[in-house]
Structure 1
Amino acid sequence: MTAIDPIIDQITAALEPHGLVPRGGFVFGPDDDAPRLSHGAAACSVVLVGHFGSSIWPPFTQWRQSHRDQPDPLDTWSKEVLTDVAGAVGGQAVFPSDKPYMPFQQWAKRAEGLSASPLGLLIHPEYGLWQAFRGALLFDRIIRFAPHPSNNHPCDSCVEKPCLHTCPVDAFDGTGFAVDRCRSYLARPEGALCMGGGCLARLACPVGQEHAYMPDQQRFHMAAFAHG
């Protein structure tokens, strides 16, 4: 993201060794239900943090070598990294997995101008479905953000929408995701292709295919979903 406020450069430098980047942000308005900071006041600004492609995979896998006993390793790693970064830049870290749940998808749409794909995942005009948000940093002051570019929704020009016709059990219909049907299939022998190579529907999206996750990252996420 383009930096206007110097804090963005500080956040960028702190995140870089971990393969993470600041992914836009905004100032909470008077009509927003801004989250409360640890000292009780409402947050003024939020900076979303995430990654593109497999940028996090090398630092995460290196960390995991000495943290094999963690039941939720990616969440644990994200919290460890972002909590340290938040302390270094004077913010407070929050995460999608923590209660009370923050509206991360709505924040991401607002911060980067993204839209949802037919699979329900947010889609980026360059990186497609191969990107994610790992947390956010809240601040008790107003941060100056550069306007995000006006993104055209890549799905609008995708006529064939192969993502909706590739799942072997038709778990996606463009309006919802049949979670139980998908997990049931993954537990059967015929689900080995998806478990070993990644979600076929996600892989079918033509946008940003060159940024698809590395094979072991695909397997990690499929296993986490199947057993989640």
Structure 2
Amino acid sequence: MGARLAEIADQAAAHRLEILGGFPAQDDPALPKGTRTVLMLGLAEPGFWAHFTSQPEWQDGTAHPMDRWSRRVIGRMACDLGAKALFPFGGPPWHPFYQWALRTGAVWESPVRLLVHHRQGLLVSFRGALALKEDMELPSPPPSPCTDCAAPCTQSCPAGALDRRGYDVPRCHAHLDQPQGMDCMTGGCLVRRACPVSQTYARLPLHSAYHMRQFHT
């Protein structure tokens, strides 16, 4: 890791964020003018949930605490770095985070088409990106965790709503409305949890349950 990248990683770590990947970007019309490098930021476990729930955005009891926290924290990082903060929420228009994640080489499309990260598995979650006006030394891409995987994700949805054919969102919501959907609601999506890499990642069920409530409202 280059010195500049390590410096930014340390700043992110202070907020329980981590750099989940990056890519060189020049003359890309989807990015702010002058962008040379994009760094994708996501949540860092263990420790994120305890940190986040101590923050004023969570404590004030108003809507969208994680989005508001992300804007404050990543926005401040961007100002300090002379960069531009970009977010996967707040549209339309929406920034193409899915495509940006694939460009990093550290994230792939899984067999169920959800993004999968080489350390976080199907629990990967992006909170923002930094568009920097400088070239940056980026690490070599790691191997995909899906290459030699038996793909339990494709057979783990109890509602049959998420598999190789894609994602039937209405069918998923209908399942979550039933008592049989309680496991997904309180512990997180069973497909995401079935990923062997997800199972090594220290996300708390309380954290996953929060995201499920946001999704199923």
Q: 1:54 to 1:73 in 2, by over 3 A?
A: farther
Counterpart among 52, 57, 60 of residue 49 in structure 2: 57
4+ residue stretches of structure 1 with deviation over 3 A?
A: 52-55
Q: Is the 8 A contact 2:24 2:37 kept in 1?
A: yes
Per the TM alignment, residue 34 of structure 1 is displaced from its structure 2 partner at its CA by: 4.1
Give the TM-score normalised by the residue count of structure 1. 0.85
Q: CA offsets per residue over residues 12-68 of structure 1, 9 Å max, x none? A: 2322221102233233234x32423xxxx3423222111344442122111144221
Q: Distance in 2 between matches of 1:212 and 1:190?
A: 25
Which residue of 2 is the match for residue 26 of structure 1?
A: 23
* Aligned twin of 2:7: 10
CA contact (8 A) 1:53 1:127 kept: no
| 1:189/1:68 CA distance change after superposition, 3 Å | same
Distance 1:215 1:80, change over 3 A: same
TM-score normalised by L of structure 2: 0.88
Provide the rounded CA distance (Å) in 2 between the counterparts of 1:147 and 1:11. 14
1:182: Cα distance to partner? Answer: 0.5
On the 8 A contact 1:52/1:130 being kept in 2, the answer is: no
Instruction: Identify the match of residue 122 of structure 1 among 115, 120, 123.
Output: 115
Q: What is the alpha-carbon distance in structure 1 between the residues aligned to residue 200 and residue 105 of structure 2?
A: 21
1:9 and 1:153, CA in 2 relative to 1: closer, same or farther beyond 3 A? closer
User: How many residue pairs are counted as aligned between the two chains?
Assistant: 215
Please list the CA deviations of residues 189-218 of structure 1 after superposition, one character each: whole Å capped at 9, or x if unmatched.
221121122211211122241214202112
Amino acid at match of 2:155: H
SS in 2 for 1:127: coil
Out of 69, 88, 98, which is 1:96 matched to? Answer: 88
Letter in 1 for 2:153: C
Q: In the alignment, which residue of structure 2 is the partner of 1:198?
A: 188
Do the aligned residues in 2 keep the contact of 1:195 with 1:222 (CA within 8 Å)?
yes
Give the letter for the 1:154 counterpart: P
Q: CA deviation at 1:169?
A: 0.8
Once superposed, what is the RMSD of the aligned Cα atoms?
Answer: 2.0
Q: Can you give the 5+ residue segments of structure 2 that lack an aligned partner in the other structure?
A: none
Q: 1:148 to 1:132 in 2, by over 3 A?
A: farther
Cα gap change, 1:43 to 1:98, in 2 (>3 Å): farther
For residues 166 and 212 of structure 1, the distance between their equivalents in structure 2, rounded to whole angstroms, comes to 20
Matched, 1:66 2:59: yes
> Shift of the alpha carbon at 1:98?
2.9
Change in CA separation of 1:211 and 1:113 when aligned onto 2, cut-off 3 Å: closer
- Matching residue of 2:31: 35
